[in-house]
Copies of this chain bind each other. A is one copy, B any other.
Amino acid sequence: MKLLNCFIKLLPSTPIYAHCDIPCGIYDPHNSQLASQTVLKMVQKIKELDSSASPASGVASPQNDNLNDRNNFVRMVKVKEEHAELCKKEVLILWTDYFKEEHLEKFPDLHTLVWKTTKLCSDNKRVVDEVKAQELVAAVDKIAEIFNQTKK
């Protein structure tokens, strides 16, 4: 039940189409961090759902709970996919639109860091793996930290 209630907060609602063309150089790594944390959250929810639903749990769940669980499995995979994609895009926006030559001189590994982070986004679509999701969160945090240092 606790789990089901929590779904209320989990529900995809009105999708919004957000251009990142924020005027006057207001860029923000916040959304990329939120997206990576959402991927991690989804991985945890899917595993939680899976263990509760799976016969291996030794608990025969009533047919209907089972149906809701399968409904939400499909939905959570979709949310994971979308946030992994969103995370990739947000990180690429910072890389292509915010970072300038002078930032690269101070952070020569930026190109490599961004590149590897986008590959972690793809990995997290393919698997349901808490370690991989943690790696993504950490990589995005590192980019956010560099961003913040350029703001000082």
B73 touches A11 (CB 8 A): no
Interchain CA distance A34-B26 in the complex, whole Å: 9
Give the distance to chain B from A107, nearest Cβ to Cβ, in Å: 13
In the assembled complex, which residues on chain B have CB atoms less than 8 Å from the CB atom of A13?
Answer: 19-21, 85, 88, 93, 96-97, 122
Q: CB of A149 within 8 A of chain B? A: no
Which chain B positions have C-beta within 8 A of A34? 22, 26
Return chain B residues, CB-CB under 8 Å to A111: 111-112, 115
Pairs A-B, 7 closest by C-beta atoms: A111-B111, A12-B21, A96-B118, A23-B41, A9-B25, A74-B77, A13-B97
User: A residues near B, CB below 8 A?
Assistant: 4, 6-26, 30-31, 34, 38, 41-42, 45-47, 50, 54, 56, 63-64, 67-68, 70-75, 77-79, 81-83, 85-86, 88-90, 92-93, 95-97, 111-112, 115, 118-119, 122-123, 125-129
